[in-house]
Amino acid sequence: MAKRRGSQRFHYDVWPVIADAFLTLLAVVVVLASGRQPVDTDVDTLKREIVAQSHGEYAGLLADVEIGTTWARLVLTEESLSFPKCEWTLPTEKQKQIDKLFQWIGQRRGLLRQIRIEGHADRKWSGEGCGDVGPFLDNLQLSQNRARAVYNVLLGFAPENRIGLQDLLNNTGTSPSAPLQMDYLRDLAKRGCLEVAGYGDRHPRDKLDPDSPKNRRVEIVLEFREPMGSDSTALADSGTCEASQ
């Protein structure tokens, strides 16, 4: 392309511009196709802090921590929770440790989208098992009960409580006050974003030894907000699983 000015001719080569634009577009397509998300620096900082705390202040409670792109998995073993055989009542000291951990996590509540509490068991089940576990009398029920115990503690109820959430949903006024700085967990529970489930022995952590004590555990999965800082308050008001600020 050329433009005449007086007796001089000026040339503009547009091909480098077109090539740069094409490469930029190609890079965007590749990122979208790969499923890579923009990095949320606040979430990444929290991930690093969780790992550090698992080796520090909460080493006695957290047996392991796994970190993913959009989640962190906190592993609490039967030993660290101090569950007696066939029981799911947590000692008071362990309840205090769980409260303290989630008070600390609650300082970053705006980074959380959802919390899932999973109960797991080993394969071993001899004789008649545990007589007062529940209607199924097996490891599946025991794993559900233990996950529910941690769930109840997070909501401020006794571990063996069976109707605490119903009281919250019905606003009966009979529920105990939430532990300090843990109201956000009740907010998540009311919106179905604090989930609880038991998987029995279907997901062993020690696959070589299905009877291993490592398989008797509770795992808490923290799912983080979408990258780039969505307006979490607006999302919470719309009923989605996003903790309010």
pLDDT tens digits, residue range 31-51?
445 555 556 899 999 999 999
Q: Six-digit token pair at 202? A: 């279907």
CATH number (3.30.200.20, 2.30.130.10, 3.50.50.60, 3.30.1330.60) of 41-237 reads: 3.30.1330.60
121 contacts 83 by C-beta, under 8 angstroms: no
CA atoms within 13 Å, Cβ hemisphere of 101: 26
Instruction: Give the model's pLDDT for residue 13.
Output: 61
User: Phi and psi (nearest 5°) for 168?
Assistant: -65, -45
pTM over 0.85? The answer is: no
* Span 190-208, average pLDDT: 91
Instruction: Give the model's pLDDT for residue 15.
Output: 61
More confident residue, 130 or 16: 130
Instruction: Give the model's pLDDT for residue 14.
Output: 57
Domain range annotation of the chain: 2-34, 41-237
Distance CA 93, CA 81 (A): 10
* Span 113-136, average pLDDT: 76
What per-residue string of b and e applies to 171-180 under the rule 16 or more CB within 10 Å gives b? eeeebeebbe
Average pLDDT, the chain: 79
